[in-house]
Structure 1
Amino acid sequence: MVGIVTERLAVADAPLQPEDIVLLRPSDPTLPLEELRKRYDEDGYLFLKHLLPREDVLKAREQYFNFLSPTGVLKEGTKAVEGVFNPNKTADDFPGIGAGAVGMNGRPGDESAAQFVDLALEAHYEEWYAEDFCKHPVLLDFIAKFTGWEDNTMALRRTLLRNNIPGTKPIGVHYDQIFLRHGDPTSVTAWVPIGDIKLNGGGLIYLENGDSVGQEIEQEFTRKAKEAGLTDEEAKNAFNSNMMATGFLSERPAEFARQYNRRWLVSEYEAGDVVLHKAHAIHASTINNDPGNVIRLATDLRFCDSSKPYDKRWMKFYEIGDGV
């Protein structure tokens, strides 16, 4: 299912026009696995509606914002699960982790943001997130069956739990293999919105047929690396250093899509939805312009086949400045 989007959406370099965007194709998780695999191979992604129990996702959202509430990030008198940004604060004091505001996963913000950044980082290690949510049995079971990896299904420990205050920097254009370069390009990313996200609320967007574009970019770099006489190890490191300082392909999604004559695939999301995507599927995010000032919260979970080479750098928790 696709459709025309008329609501105004914005990315870092421009508002997206109606002709620039189309809706993601949703899929029911109960469809036959053969059909789901076919869609994943065709599209480079699989947008699963209501895969996770909604109450479990909202519980994690509530725990996250309760954890960060001492920083004053939430509007007084609102519930933690709502995640409404404090209108008496400025976004500068609450920089999001992992949006690419600084290179090589450097520490975002200044001293005024220290408490918020520290707690946002610590949340990655909390049991309610690292164990209960990231290893949710419904998600693990689905991945194991969908991929056919079964008992070889491994959840990589390093995840990115991203908050996105309204109006702050969105995520730049990239594909995940850039950052998972020391493993086979067979990993599966599960992007999980932790709460409802309106169409203009900063959700993830995917480049139309972007998996093939990502593979072309990868092949072109590999060709140049071989011509330059780089070893495989040198090429892995050189690829990241030849991206932008953040590791992204571009900070200008509108321009990037025009360059490849593609549209951006967009959607609103509900708590319980999960989007699986391939290692070369190109994606970014819109600016969070939620009219209710709601903070966008989501996480990137990666899974691999443990019987094949995988990027072992991702087997430890996310740390600021880890360079991955």
Structure 2
Amino acid sequence: MSLDAPSAALTSNGYTLDDRPHRLGALDPVPDAERGDRGALWRRLRRDGYLFLPGHLEPQVVQDFRRFYFARLRGTGVVAEPSIPAEGEPGVAGGGEIDRALLRRRLFDEIVPSPEYERLCTHPRIRGWFAWLLADEVHLHRRRIIRHTRPGQTGIGTATQAHYDLVYLREGTDRVLSIWIPLGDCPRSRGGLTYLEGSHRRVMREEAEGRLRRPAASITADLPGLAEEHDARWLVTDYAAGDVVVHSAHIIHAALDNVDAGGVMRLSTDIRYQRASEPIDWRWQEHWRDDDGL
């Protein structure tokens, strides 16, 4: 994977991020010495609000699912034909009109409930790891989201806007943990996830004080403005296949725009685990659909 030049301008929903050192930084990976230390991971999670775990999964695990995903979208117009090229990475965007009805059937009736997706979400390096970290029986929320982002799409609503997960999960515990998995290499140019440094502490404080009664909606698409408001940095990195980020329900995060010069789509999934003994948001116990109201 070729990495972007650090000086490349980054955008989200058409807004250009401020690249000054006090507004833009790098995600801090968990060092090897802490990867098997549960106490160290919890201290880091409480301090930073996230755990960036490079190479947590075997790259082939996510690459296999990427190939399955885009093979299922053959004929929708989303991907170039053939959707699984003899050379190069699957998931190059198609140039024609998209058959929206066929896309929805393939995604929600075939991919989301598929055994291939279930195997990915319950992989031992995911489910077993959460059971170890939480030191308890764990519950995987059935509502799991898969996103593909075509390059060249800009403007409000094309990239995931700034939000924190708790606003969508208020009927259960606030200690639910999300894991974001890039399904394939995801350099910054392909629209990876970015985190607002330290934002979980302010969100937790204001939630506890009852000052954040946000509806289930994003905060803003204006990432540079939000960084100014929080006097904080957006943290970015070039993700490789196999990297994951585990984050709390309180940290603010968003996605960059996909500007991949080769036309490769970003593909990712975000799923959520918690202790089975804690309150579970009943609304998240059905397969994800784009019309499920959440």
The answer to whether residue 121 in structure 2 is matched with residue 120 in structure 1 is no
Q: Distance in 2 between matches of 1:141 and 1:182?
A: 25
Matches for 1:253-264 after TM superposition, within 5 Å: 253-264=223-234
Superposed CA offset, 1:235-293 (max 9, x none): xxxx42xx6xxx11112112111111111000111111110000101100000111211
Q: Show the 5 A alignment for 1:257-296.
A: 257-296=227-266
For the residues of structure 2 that align with 1:212 and 1:191, how far apart are their CA atoms? 20
Q: CA RMSD of the aligned region, Å?
A: 2.0
* Further displaced range: 14-23 or 75-84: 75-84
Deviations 1:47-92 (A, max 9, x none): 0011111111110000000000121322235636521112x326xx
2:167 counterpart (144, 167, 178): 178
Gaps of 5+ in 1: 94-111, 226-238
Compute the displacement of 1:172 (Å). Answer: 0.6
2:66 paired residue among 40, 51, 61 = 61
Equivalent residue for 2:38, pick from 6, 9, 33: 33
Residue 156 (structure 1) aligned with residue 145 (structure 2): no
2: CA distance, partners of 1:76 / 1:224: 47
SS in 2 for 1:73: coil
CA contact (8 A) 1:11 1:170 kept: yes
Cα distance in structure 2, aligned partners of 1:48 and 1:67: 29
Contact 2:170 2:281 in 1 (8 A): yes
Amino acid of the structure 2 residue aligned with 1:314? W
Partner of 1:84: 92
The 8 Å contact of residues 11 and 254 in structure 1, kept in 2 or not, is answered as: no
C-alpha deviations, 1:267-324, integer Å up to 9, x for none?
1111111100001011000001112111000001100111111111111111232212
Residue matched to 2:290: 320
**Structure 1 residues 272 and 259, CA, compared in 2 at 3 Å: closer, same or farther?**
same
* Mapped pair 1:141 → 2:114: no
- Label 1:215 to 1:13 Cα distance change in 2 as closer, same or farther (>3 A): farther
Please state how far the C-alpha of 1:223 moved relative to its aligned partner. 4.6
Name 1:204's counterpart in structure 2.
193
Q: How much identity, in percent, do the aligned residues show? A: 32
* Cα distance in 2 between the residues matched to 1:249 and 1:219: 18
Conserved in 2, the CA contact under 8 Å of 1:156 and 1:303? yes
Distance 1:132 1:219 in 2: 37
SS in 1 for 2:246: strand
Counterpart pick for 2:78 among 73, 86, 100: 73
Residue 143 of structure 1: CA displacement? 0.9
The separation in 2 between residues aligned to 1:323 and 1:68, in whole angstroms, is 24
- Write the mapping of 1:175-254 to structure 2, written as runs, cut at 5 A: 175-219=164-208, 222-223=210-211, 239-240=214-215, 247-254=217-224
User: Shift in Å at residue 35 of structure 1?
Assistant: 2.1
Q: TM-score, normalised by structure 2?
A: 0.88
Structure 1 runs, 4 residues or longer, greater than 3 Å off: 28-31
TM-score calculated relative to the size of structure 1:
0.80
Structure 2 partner of 1:44: 49
Cα deviation code 1:18-48 (max 9, x no counterpart): 2131110112474422222221111000000
Specify which structure has the higher proportion of helix.
1
Q: Aligned with 2:120: secondary structure? A: coil
Q: Aligned partners of 2:212 and 2:48: how far apart in 1?
A: 28
Distance in 1 between residues matched to 2:240 and 2:283, nearest whole Å: 31
Task: Specify whether residues 124 and 276 from structure 1 end up closer, same or farther in structure 2 by C-alpha distance, changes over 3 A only.
Answer: same
Displacement of 1:120: 2.2
Q: How far apart, CA to CA, are the structure 2 residues paired with 1:76 and 1:314?
A: 35
Q: Alignment length, in residue pairs?
A: 278
